[in-house]
Structure 1
C-alpha cells in the first residue's frame, strides 16, 4: 500500500452536508457514511481532526439580520457545531473507532476544552478528533477555525470538503463554461474572490503556509483518495 501524502490533516465539513437530503437537521445514513469515510482515512495511518459547521441546525449570520446581535447569533451557531460533533462522535464509536470531541467553549459537562496538549494526546491514542465550538469567538467562521487548528496542530493540510470537485472560476452548476483550477496560490484565491472558503481563512492559510485541498465529499472514497494523492481536487498553496 502506498504511503499517504499527508500524515496529519484537518478536514473541514459543512454542517449542511450532514442534513443529507433533508432541508435541515442530521441525516443518519449520511453521518454513518461519513463516519466510514473518516475511519478509512484513519486506517491509512493518518492523524485526522475534523471541524464541522453548524448550518444544518443554525446559522448565526442569518439570524443576526433579524434582530439578534451578531455575537449572540454566532454563539448560537457555535453551539450547533457541538451538536454535530457529538452526533459524529457517536456514529464513529458505534463503528468501533475511538473519537474525541474537544470544544473551544468551556462546557465541562459536554466535552473537554480544546488545548494543544489535549489534542496531541488524543491523536497519539489513535482517536479521530472532532473540534467543535468554532474559535470560541464571534465573527470567525468554521473555515477559519479549520485553518487555525491546522496551524496549531502542525497539520500538513486542510481538506475542504465541498459539493464540487475543486475551485472553479464560477459556479459550475450555473455556468457550463466555468474553469476548474488544479492549483492556485493563496493570494490568487484571495484575489479571485472564490467563495469556497472565506477571505480570512485564505489569508490565515497564506500566513501560516497551510495548503488547502478543495474536493468533493459526495464521491465515495474521496477523502482517502486525496490522502493518497490520487483524488481530484484543487490545491491552494504557496
Structure 2
C-alpha cells in the first residue's frame, strides 16, 4: 500500500459495529473491521479513532423516551466507552497496541483524555481511541471527531458510514443518483448535502481539515482511502 496520509482520524459510527443485528456489537463485524484497521496501522499510519455509541444506546432507547436530553447524552457517551473497549480488545487480538482515552473521567476503566499523551501514543504508532465524545451533552461524536482531529493535527478525517460516499440524491430512492468523487465545502453547503452535523462540518472547514466519506462495509475501502485513492467522497477547501 502506497501511503498518502501519515496521520488520520477515523470516525466510526456505533451502528457500523452492529452488522445485521438490531443493536449491540456483532462479533464477526468487529473482527472484519479491526483486520482492516490493523492492516493500515501496521503500514505505519498514525491512526486515531473516534467511535459512536448508537448501537449500544439503541438497545435502551425505548426506556429513554421522555428522558432529559443531557442525561440521555451522558448515557450515549458511556456507550461509546463500551465500544472503545471492545475495539481495543479486538485490535489487541490482531497484534495492534491501542489506547483508549475518555473525555469523561472513568479512571478505573480507561485513562482520561490528555492531549500530549495522545500525541505521544500516535508518534509511538499506537492506535488512539477517543471515547465519550467531547465530554459534553448536545455535541455529537461527529463534533468530537472534528475536534480531536484538529487537536491531533491529522491530515484528514475519514468518516466511515454504510454508504460509499456522498450522492447527488438518496441512492436508495433515486436510481439515477451519482456519487461525488470530490466536492468543496462551499459546494456541499450550497447543495445542502449532509456530510456531518453542522458544528463538526464548520470546524473542519475553518481548520481546512478535509473529510472523506466512505463505506466501512466495502472490503479494502479504508486502505484505499488512506492511500488517497478514489474511494468515497473527498470534501475539501
Q: Normalised by the shorter chain, which TM-score bucket?
A: over 0.9
* Aligned: 1:19 with 2:18: yes
Q: Give the CA deviation at 1:206.
A: 0.6
Cα distance change, pair 136–63 in 1 and its aligned pair in 2 (3 A): farther
Residue equivalent to 1:114:
113
Residue equivalent to 1:197:
196
Residue equivalent to 1:80:
79
Residue equivalent to 1:167:
166
Q: What 5-or-longer segments of structure 1 have no aligned partner? A: none
* Aligned-partner Cα distance in 1 for 2:228–2:125: 22
- Equivalent pair of 2:14/2:54 in contact (CA under 8 Å): yes
Please give the TM-score of this superposition, normalised by the length of structure 2. Answer: 0.94
Residue equivalent to 1:126:
125
* Aligned: 1:54 with 2:65: no
- Equivalent pair of 2:41/2:96 in contact (CA under 8 Å): no
Q: Give the CA deviation at 1:188.
A: 2.3
Q: Give the CA deviation at 1:171.
A: 1.4
- Equivalent pair of 1:189/1:202 in contact (CA under 8 Å): no
* Aligned-partner Cα distance in 2 for 1:138–1:101: 20
- Equivalent pair of 1:186/1:205 in contact (CA under 8 Å): no
Please give the TM-score of this superposition, normalised by the length of structure 1. Answer: 0.94
Q: What 5-or-longer segments of structure 2 have no aligned partner? A: none
Q: Secondary structure at the match of 1:210?
A: coil
Q: Give the CA deviation at 1:64.
A: 10
Q: Secondary structure at the match of 2:225?
A: helix
Q: Secondary structure at the match of 1:106?
A: coil
Matches within 5 A, 1:1-238: 2=2, 4-58=3-57, 66-238=65-237
Q: Give the CA deviation at 1:211.
A: 0.2
Q: Give the CA deviation at 1:170.
A: 1.7
